[in-house]
Amino acid sequence: MDKHQTTLEQSIRKAREKKDILLMTHIVLGYPSFDDCLRMVEDMVNAGVDLMELQIPFSEPMADGPVILKANAEALKAGATVEQSFEMAERLTKEFDIPFLFMTYYNILFCQGVTEFVERCKAIGIQGCIVPDLPPAEGQDYLDAMHRCKLAPVHIFTPNTPEPRMRFLNDNSAGFIYSVARKGVTGKDTAFSSELETYLSTCKQNTSLPLAVGFGVKSAEDVNFLRGKADIAVVGSETIRVMEKEGVAGVRPFIETLVA
Amino acid sequence: MKNSGYYSQFGGAFIPEILVPTFDELETAYLEARDDENFWKEYLELMSTYSCRATPITRLDNLSAQIGGASIYVKREDLNHTGAHKANNVMGQGLLTKRMKKTRVIAETGAGQHGVATATMAAKFGFDCTIYMGAHDVKRQRPNVFWMEQMGATVVAVTEGSQTLKDAINEAFRDWVTNMDDTHYVLGTACGPHPFPEMVSWFQSVIGTEAREQMLDRTGKLPKRVYACVGGGSNAMGIFSGFFDDKEVELVGVEAGGRGRGSGEHAARLAYDDASIGVAQGYKTFFLQDRDGQMQDTHSVSAGLDYVGVSPILSHLHEAKQVRFEAATDDKVVEAMQRTVRHEGLIPALESSHAFAQAYKEAETMSPEDDILINMSGRADKDIFTVADAVHDPKWKEFIIDKADAYRREKHNG
């Protein structure tokens, strides 16, 4: 892919001039309800979140762990549709001045029509997409459409990814690289160790893009560990866990502890 | 990773990035095994000494006469060790697991046959073993869960989603993305990401290779039609593959019609019009899904056919009109099973009974000169609870009540 700088990458680089680490959070659209999602996003933005992943729920979220899995299932049980997810995302991108990405599984794009899906993302102000079950080899239509619309297809580095594969993924990505801190699914504990540090430095060497790190990031301590080693800390399942335990009102204080 | 494993527009490998090296390793091991004559020799030796290969074909003398149409033959996959064709795939993948020097196997299971077969293989080869099974299926297939646990496997009841086969597959993948270094995922059917559809079909092709020869030996000609039930599609791929080059043989796949066309309670992806093309569980095929691409609940009297997707190879053969797809409803399936038990003394599993139901229906309209062949993919011991309910057997109920009372007394007395 021709390495034009996407709006997403530009905003990340600009935000990084002021902060030494950015915070990206994750919500599942329609969980616990679309109204609650709106409130949570508002609280998160006010608490200082720099960018957000909006997950369009899917019935078979293969790469997600128990917390996000349940959130997907509950959102669908409550009747969440792809149409409602688009409408909510459009509202969020209009009201809040941070970059938003969609995270979802390939079947959601496929059933909408890949080109139609991507063009609609463009039209409503979504800046990038993370599709964890779509390797570049299967996603040429998607990559072409994202490129045409100047949106960022974000790919994933893992501790199992060989370096030549990292460079290949980098060449097919824009915006940033999402590096998962360990094997497994979302929402389990991660050891923030020197081993992780070595892996992150390998990631950095193999991408020209900003580096986000997720999977198991859940405290100010974890975020601090990532300072200087990554550009973005991703807090996914933990926010949902906090919301489930303390209600929507608990989200803002939690985020504030992370960015303090 | 190569962009391979497509059958016209179906198949592919839609996998999380973390599994890309694992799939590369698996594909390499599989291709090397295919190129190695000794591997297949070792496989056949194992199947003839540990399972029951070659399984025979049996002519249904009484029912052929009673129905008065085609002469009906049955390929006896029920005589495999563990009672179903699943053994063919599992033992093959067990040998591959050894080649890859992995020490743990995981598997999903619907009816429990694949779980039992995998647990058996793990016990024989000395692998650790975890089986994922929908909580709904754990309830209806307790006898199989019992045997898996006896063989040392850990059985995890999956409470997510519809609590059936697809949810068990998702959970097995979640295990695999964590433990791929020492673990092989023994996928049980000709579905999932490449190379599984092709690899599982290869191990199952032993059924078709034998059956074709046996029919020629026995009758001097090829059967006019071959019937197989289709859940994921591995037993069908197995028997059909023996006849792909014989254009005069019509191949008939029989899906779970559940409560019938238009009921919304079935698992017929190809025979009815409710499914559409989608991508889930790592591959592209026809799925029973809504317009957004969310998977729908399926229904079948047989746990093994109760699945939202179907082998990408069969979707291709369906579109290419090389296989005809039909669906048999729950009531016809139970009836066909009872008829086979009563008049032939064979006990086909509820899954396999779908193929019997369609074959009996069509045999009637055929000539006595014609032979047809049914793949009896498994036996019904595991279905005893479901079948006893379906036939309302009062003596069975009494037995269960007595047994329950005895257990209750035992528990009460400490």
Q: For B379-400, what is each residue's pLDDT tens digit?
A: 998 788 888 888 889 999 999 9
Whether the CB of B24 is below 8 Å from some CB of chain A: the reply is no
Identify whether the C-beta of residue B127 lies closer than 8 Å to the C-beta of residue B153: no
Average pLDDT (B30-43) is: 97
Name residues 119-158 of chain A within 8 A of B (Cβ): 132-135, 137-138, 155-158
Nearest by CB to B161, from A73, A108, A162: name it: A73
Average pLDDT (B145-153) is: 96
Residue A4 has what pLDDT?
A: 67
Whether the CB of B297 is below 8 Å from some CB of chain A: the reply is no
Residue B4 has what pLDDT?
A: 76
When the pLDDT of each residue in chain B is averaged and rounded to a whole number, the result is 95
Whether the CB of A163 is below 8 Å from some CB of chain B: the reply is no
Identify whether the C-beta of residue B168 lies closer than 8 Å to the C-beta of residue B214: no
Identify whether the C-beta of residue A202 lies closer than 8 Å to the C-beta of residue A33: no
Residues B392, B414: Cα–Cα separation, whole Å = 34
Write down how long chain B is.
414
Whether the CB of B289 is below 8 Å from some CB of chain A: the reply is yes
**What are the tens digits of pLDDT across the range B117-140?**
999 999 999 999 999 999 988 887
Residue for token pair 């997907």: A72
Residue of B nearest to A183 (CA): B178
Nearest chain B Cα distance for residue A11, angstroms = 26
Q: Determine, for residues B20 and A135 on separate chains, whether the beta-carbon distance falls below 8 Å.
A: yes
Peptide bond into B193 cis (omega under 30): no
Average pLDDT (B170-185) is: 94
Parallel/antiparallel/unpaired status of strands B225-229 and B371-376: parallel
Residue A185 has what pLDDT?
A: 79
Q: Determine, for residues B17 and A157 on separate chains, whether the beta-carbon distance falls below 8 Å.
A: yes
Residues of B in contact with A110 (CB under 8 A): 278-279, 293
SS3 at position A116? helix
Nearest chain A Cα distance for residue B24, angstroms = 12
* CA-CA-CA-CA torsion sign (A148, A149, A152, A156): negative
pLDDT over threshold 60, residue B2: no
Whether the CB of B28 is below 8 Å from some CB of chain A: the reply is no
Identify whether the C-beta of residue A28 lies closer than 8 Å to the C-beta of residue A57: yes
Residues B282, A60: Cα–Cα separation, whole Å = 10
Residue A14 has what pLDDT?
A: 97
Residue of B nearest to A182 (CA): B178
Residue A187 has what pLDDT?
A: 75
Residues B349, B305: Cα–Cα separation, whole Å = 11
A interface test, pick of B14, B171, B179 with most A CB neighbours within 10 Å: B14
Residues B334, B113: Cα–Cα separation, whole Å = 19
Nearest chain A Cα distance for residue B100, angstroms = 17
B interface test, pick of A29, A133, A143, A158 with most B CB neighbours within 10 Å: A133
Percent of chain B with pLDDT over 70: 99
Identify whether the C-beta of residue B212 lies closer than 8 Å to the C-beta of residue B245: no
pLDDT over threshold 80, residue B414: no
Residue A43 CA neighbour count, 13 Å, CB half: 20
Task: Report helix angle B312-319 to B196-219, nearest 10.
Answer: 60
Q: How deeply is A2 buried, as exposed, middle or buried, from its count of CB atoms within 10 A (0-12, 13-18, 19+)?
A: exposed
Tokens of B119: 């647990």
Identify whether the C-beta of residue B165 lies closer than 8 Å to the C-beta of residue B130: no
Residues of B in contact with A65 (CB under 8 A): 174
Ranges of chain A whose pLDDT falls below 70? 1-4
State the greatest distance between any 2 C-alpha atoms of chain A, in Å, as a whole number: 45
Residue B352 CA neighbour count, 13 Å, CB half: 31
Residues B170, B156: Cα–Cα separation, whole Å = 13
When the pLDDT of each residue in chain A is averaged and rounded to a whole number, the result is 94
Parallel/antiparallel/unpaired status of strands A211-214 and A177-180: parallel
What domains does chain B contain, in order, with CATH numbers?
8-48+85-196 (3.40.50.1100), 52-83+205-388 (3.40.50.1100)
Give strand ranges (E) for A151-214: 152-154, 156-157, 177-180, 211-214
Name residues 192-251 of chain B within 8 A of A (Cβ): none
Nearest chain B Cα distance for residue A256, angstroms = 31
Q: How many CB pairs under 8 A join A and B?
A: 106
Name residues 193-252 of chain A within 8 A of B (Cβ): none
SS3 at position B377? coil
Identify whether the C-beta of residue B127 lies closer than 8 Å to the C-beta of residue B105: yes
Residue of A nearest to B1 (CA): A137
Nearest chain A Cα distance for residue B283, angstroms = 10
Parallel/antiparallel/unpaired status of strands B323-329 and B250-258: parallel
Q: Determine, for residues B17 and A137 on separate chains, whether the beta-carbon distance falls below 8 Å.
A: no
Nearest by CB to A133, from B3, B16, B166: name it: B16
Residues of A in contact with B288 (CB under 8 A): none
Residues of B in contact with A156 (CB under 8 A): 16-18
B interface test, pick of A59, A180, A237 with most B CB neighbours within 10 Å: A59
Catalytic residue numbers of A, as ranges: 53, 64
- Scanning B109-229, the segments in alpha helix (DSSP H) are 113-125, 135-140, 142-150, 165-179, 196-219
CA-wise closest residue to B134 among B308, B311, B359: B308
Residue B65 CA neighbour count, 13 Å, CB half: 4
Whether the CB of B1 is below 8 Å from some CB of chain A: the reply is yes
What domains does chain A contain, in order, with CATH numbers?
7-259 (3.20.20.70)
Residues of B in contact with A103 (CB under 8 A): none
Integer CA distances (angstroms), B39 to B29, B34, B187, B206, in order: 11, 7, 20, 14
**What are the tens digits of pLDDT across the range B42-92?**
999 999 999 989 999 999 999 999 999 999 999 999 999 999 999 999 999
Residue B161 has what pLDDT?
A: 80
Residues B162, B264: Cα–Cα separation, whole Å = 15
Residue B143 has what pLDDT?
A: 87
Report which DSSP code applies to B379.
B
Residue B1 has what pLDDT?
A: 39
Average pLDDT (B91-119) is: 96
Identify whether the C-beta of residue B171 lies closer than 8 Å to the C-beta of residue B160: yes
Whether the CB of A181 is below 8 Å from some CB of chain B: the reply is no
Whether the CB of B44 is below 8 Å from some CB of chain A: the reply is no
